[in-house]
């Protein structure tokens, strides 16, 4: 066996834990080895040679992985770090060569449509003029589409003159001066309105009656109003937004009315039954939802268990979507089907964090023996043609969650997490990701999901049971890796992914 160049990398916070061993050859050298460190101080990875293919290395590593499905969810990303020794994945390199031009063209068109859908005049940078005599609303003026609304706070504060003239103009609506009484006529409706008076008091009275009506019906867009007096000009934003109806959950009086336990299973009924038994040890009545895409489904018996049978081998994220779609409680707890509840798996503690921090959408725990897994995601938008870059770094916390010193804000967490049902549904799980997927959910939720990781709630992980049929579906081949990277290139408009 040839032992060629090996890369050594140490990143204690990023590694899922100790106890696994990878060793063997890939024809051109050793893929890697991971040695147990019972002190849990530092973990060393020896990964594939600098010239190796990450797809091939992953394919080989999947075949010899002897312990730890939790880590396998993230192993692909560790292998990617060392492509050409750079830690950067250039996604266009993974597109099918015969369809490269067509894919790039369609991606550009979709991105243009996305930009139209998400852009707004409100994104413009606006500077407030200095020493201006104009008074106007700088924040908080929101109107309902097509409905007439008084513009608050318009006024002129100028030195005495023979006459005063101000102009107000908009582009996505019309302006008018509201009539004083029932017998009075409203002023003419125009996109630009000029108000003139020899009395400053009368002019301000007229400014206080100016209304704005949007002429564009959208759920959320905006307009910029231009307000001028002599050589002074000010610009202020008008938010045009349809009001939404609140969606509230009755959390009841106990944990059973607040949380549903959710999992996805495939060919692992032995592990699933152990999980259910452990849940019932601590939570006898809580609802359990199971999405099952096994090849030959078996009925799972038990009280307050809902088993949803899917077409065979639909995949990891398709199952997550189905399971979460059936949740009727405010929160759900996601667990893998080979996890094990212990006396440290206190769902109430995660609910407490969520209820005390209403902005939170996802709170993760830790997996016993594997530690607390969390990571940061930072997106650099880049230009419209090439796309942006996503920077992913393990073991990054942003700041503590107020009132909970064992919890910190981050970008992504491990497969044990409490999710706010309505927030997670809005992001969803990409059903094209069938085999290994986890970080992708947090990628899609970046900018909309507030995520935290807590160390004071943990769950056990069952010993691995050899299952050749399961492994043949579970583990990605090099073709799967290439397709996933090409998918990120198009769907997320990414040029590259950097690992640190």
CATH of the domain at 233: 2.60.40
State whether 231 and 368 are in the same domain: no
- Residue 55, pLDDT > 90, answer no
Weakest mean pLDDT among 118-132, 183-197, 317-331, 352-366: 183-197
State whether 237 and 259 are in the same domain: no
State whether 394 and 440 are in the same domain: yes
Distances (CA, A) of 208 to 213, 289, 305, 457: 15, 57, 61, 56
State whether 233 and 361 are in the same domain: no
Residue 2, in any domain of the structure: no
State whether 391 and 443 are in the same domain: yes
Give the pLDDT score at 411.
Answer: 98
Residue 102, in any domain of the structure: no
State whether 343 and 492 are in the same domain: yes
Report the alpha-carbon distance of residue 167 to residue 228 in Å, rounded. 5
Give the pLDDT score at 185.
Answer: 60
Give the pLDDT score at 1.
Answer: 29
State whether 316 and 356 are in the same domain: yes
Q: CA-CA-CA-CA torsion for 166, 169, 173, 177, nearest 10 degrees? A: 10
Pick 249 or 434 by higher pLDDT: 249
Report the alpha-carbon distance of residue 265 to residue 295 in Å, rounded. 11
Q: Which of 182, 206, 241 is the last residue of a domain?
A: 241
Token pair 């009506």 is found at: 213
State the total domains in the chain: 3
State whether 263 and 384 are in the same domain: yes
Residue 309, in any domain of the structure: yes
Residue 1, in any domain of the structure: no
Report the alpha-carbon distance of residue 486 to residue 6 in Å, rounded. 27
- Residue 125, pLDDT > 90, answer yes
Q: Which of 191, 213, 241 is the last residue of a domain?
A: 241
What does the pLDDT look like over 403-445, one tens digit per residue? 999 999 999 999 999 999 999 999 999 999 987 789 999 999 9
Give the pLDDT score at 434.
Answer: 86
State whether 214 and 352 are in the same domain: no
State whether 175 and 278 are in the same domain: no
State whether 298 and 426 are in the same domain: yes
- Residue 273, pLDDT > 50, answer yes
Give the pLDDT score at 371.
Answer: 82
**Is 12 in a helix, a strand, or coil?**
coil
Residue 225, in any domain of the structure: yes
Residue 93, in any domain of the structure: no
What does the pLDDT look like over 23-49, one tens digit per residue? 332 222 223 333 333 222 222 333 333
- Residue 74, pLDDT > 80, answer no
Structural domain of residue 342, as residue ranges? Answer: 255-499
- Residue 182, pLDDT > 80, answer no
Rg (CA), the chain: 29
- Residue 3, pLDDT > 80, answer no
Average pLDDT estimate for 147-169: 98
Average pLDDT estimate for 258-272: 98
Write the DSSP string, 70-137: HHHHHHHHHHHHTGGGTSEEEGGGGS-GGGHHHHHHHHHHHHHHHHHHH--GGGS---PPTT--EE--
Give the pLDDT score at 42.
Answer: 25
Residue 266, in any domain of the structure: yes
Residue 43, in any domain of the structure: yes
Are 358 and 393 within 8 A, CB to CB? Answer: no
DSSP state of 414: -
Give the pLDDT score at 171.
Answer: 97
Q: Where are the alpha helices (DSSP H) in 212-335?
A: 269-282, 316-325
State whether 76 and 136 are in the same domain: no
- Residue 236, pLDDT > 90, answer yes
The pLDDT confidence band at residue 178, using thresholds 50, 70 and 90, is: very high
Beta-strand pair 232-241/142-143: parallel
Q: Which of 37, 62, 86 is the last residue of a domain?
A: 86
CATH at 322: 3.90.550.10
The pLDDT confidence band at residue 469, using thresholds 50, 70 and 90, is: confident
């Amino acid at each position: 066996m040839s032992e060629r160049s090996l890369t050594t990398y140490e990143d204690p916070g990023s590694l899922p834990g100790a106890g696994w061993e990878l060793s063997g050859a890939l024809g051109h050298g050793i893929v890697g080895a991971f040695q147990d460190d019972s002190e849990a101080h530092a973990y060393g990875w020896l990964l594939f040679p600098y010239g190796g293919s990450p797809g091939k290395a992953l394919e080989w590593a999947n075949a010899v992985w002897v312990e730890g499905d939790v880590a396998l969810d993230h192993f692909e990303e560790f292998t990617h770090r060392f492509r050409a020794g750079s830690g950067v994945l250039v996604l266009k390199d993974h597109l099918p060569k015969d369809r490269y031009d067509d894919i790039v063209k369609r991606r550009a068109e979709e991105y243009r449509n996305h930009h139209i859908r998400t852009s707004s005049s409100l994104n413009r940078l606006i500077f407030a003029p200095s020493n201006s005599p104009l008074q106007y609303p700088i924040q908080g003026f929101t109107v309902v589409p097509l409905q007439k609304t008084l513009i608050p706070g318009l006024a002129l504060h100028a030195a005495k003159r023979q006459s005063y003239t101000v102009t107000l103009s908009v582009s996505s609506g019309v302006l008018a001066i509201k009539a004083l009484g029932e017998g009075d006529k409203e002023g003419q409706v125009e996109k630009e309105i000029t108000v003139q008076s020899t009395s400053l008091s009368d002019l301000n009275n007229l400014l206080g009656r100016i209304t704005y009506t949007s002429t564009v019906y959208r759920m959320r867009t905006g307009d910029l109003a231009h307000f001028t007096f002599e050589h002074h000009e000010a610009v202020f934003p008008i938010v045009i937004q349809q009001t939404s109806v609140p969606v509230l959950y009755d959390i009841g009086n106990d944990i059973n009315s607040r949380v549903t336990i959710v999992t996805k299973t495939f060919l692992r009924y032995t592990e699933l039954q152990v999980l259910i038994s452990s849940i019932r040890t601590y939570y006898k009545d809580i609802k359990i939802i199971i999405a099952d895409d096994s090849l030959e489904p078996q009925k799972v018996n038990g009280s307050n268990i809902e088993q949803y049978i899917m077409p065979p081998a639909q995949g990891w994220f398709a199952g997550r979507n189905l399971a979460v779609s059936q949740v009727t409680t405010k929160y759900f707890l996601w667990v893998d089907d080979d996890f094990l509840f212990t006396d440290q798996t206190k769902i109430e503690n995660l609910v407490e964090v969520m209820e005390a921090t209403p902005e939170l959408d996802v709170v993760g725990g830790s997996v016993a023996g594997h530690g607390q897994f969390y990571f940061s995601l930072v997106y650099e938008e880049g230009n419209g043609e090439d796309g942006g870059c996503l920077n992913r770094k393990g073991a990054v916390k942003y700041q503590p969650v107020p009132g909970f010193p064992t919890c910190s804000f981050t970008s992504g967490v491990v497969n044990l997490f409490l999710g706010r049902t309505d927030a997670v549904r809005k992001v969803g799980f990409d059903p094209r990701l069938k085999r290994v997927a986890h970080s992708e959910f947090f990628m899609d939720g970046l900018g909309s999901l507030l995520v935290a990781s807590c160390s004071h709630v943990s769950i056990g992980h069952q010993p691995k049971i050899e299952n050749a049929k399961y492994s043949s579906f579970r583990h990605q081949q090099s073709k799967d890796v290439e397709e996933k990277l090409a998918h990120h290139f198009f769907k997320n408009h990414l040029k590259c992914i950097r690992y640190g």
